[in-house]
Amino acid sequence: MNTIKEILEAYGTSVEEMDVNEHYLIEVDGYEPLAIEKVREDIISVEQYYTQRMDRMSDPEIRFKIGDAGEWTAVEYTDHGMNVYQRDERGLRSANEFAIKWDRNLRDQGFIDAAYADARNGGEQ
């Protein structure tokens, strides 16, 4: 998820430097918000979401295990709109494949530029 790494760079941090529960919210007009949160020392959540009847709905959320060499492996996948939940600590092949496309889409949708603009304006989540 190079796009996520670049977004974190915009805020002057990296996955390795983030504290547990540290999070960033990036918004781009016309797209669902993007949330990035370190949920455990070796797990980062990347999620786009919407609200339905006061409930936060993942569309999707992928939790990645960060390996010792810095590799990202999808270990949990949630998509509330499709009623999908998968988890496998060894890795989810289909979620890893989807993440490649999602990463490209997030870049194309302007989330990196939005993060840099937010960081310039003092937006530290």
With 0-12 CB in 10 A as exposed, 13-18 as middle and 19+ as buried, what is 106? buried
Tens of pLDDT along 77-125? 999 999 999 999 999 999 999 999 999 999 999 999 999 999 998 865 5
- What percentage of residues in the chain have a pLDDT greater than 90? 96
Tens of pLDDT along 11-48? 999 999 999 999 999 999 999 999 999 999 999 999 99
Q: What is the pTM of this model?
A: 0.94
Q: What average pLDDT score do residues 3-14 get?
A: 97
In the chain, beta strands by DSSP E = 23-26, 34-40, 43-52, 55-66, 72-79, 84-87
What is the C-alpha separation between 53 and 97, in angstroms, rounded?
A: 31
- Domain edges within the chain: 2-120
* 40's tokens: 């455990």
